[in-house]
A and B are shown apart, each in its own frame.
Chain A
C-alpha cells in the first residue's frame, strides 16, 4: 500500500521522491558512520590521540588543530592530506550526511511541477556553490 492510500490525501510525487532519496542516503550515511566510528575508537590510524584531543578541546577550532597537528585547517586540502586517517574519514561521513538534502533536492527536480523546477534548480545551484566554495576557499572568515 503506498503512502497516498494510507494517508487518504494526495501527496505530491515530488514529496515522495524527496522522501525516498533522503531516507536511503541517510541510512547509507549512518551505516558508514558506525563503521568509521568503530575504527576511530579502536585507535586505528587516528590523526590525534584521544588524550591529546581532551587536553586541547577547550581551545577555539583553529587553535585546536594548530596545537594538536600543527596544521592550519581549512578547505579540501586538509581532507586530501589526511584521507586515510579515521578522524578525516569520520568527518567525510559527516560531509556525506551534509550532502543528503542536496541530492534530495537535485533528484527531485525532474519530478517537480514546472514552476517548481526553476525553484529547485536555483536551490541545487545555491547548495552546490556553498559546498564548492567551502571546500575550495575553506569557507572564509576564520583564520
Chain B
C-alpha cells in the first residue's frame, strides 16, 4: 500500500501506439500522390485533412506522452511551495 506511489511505466501502450503511429506515417508517405490529389480537391474533401489531423494527434500524441514517461521525464511531483 505504501508503495502505491511507484507507478508502472506504460511500455506496452507506448510500443503499440508507436507502431500504429509509424504505420500511419508510412501509409501517408507511401500514398502521398493519391492523398495530395484527394485532399487538394477542397469543398467537402476539406474534412479529410481535419479528420487526419485529429487521428494523428490522438495516436501520436498518446505515443509521445508515454515516450517521455517511459524515459522518466514526468511533471514535478508536487507543486512548488509559494514563499
Whether chain B is bound by chain A comes out as no
Residues of A whose CB lies within 8 Å of any CB of B are none
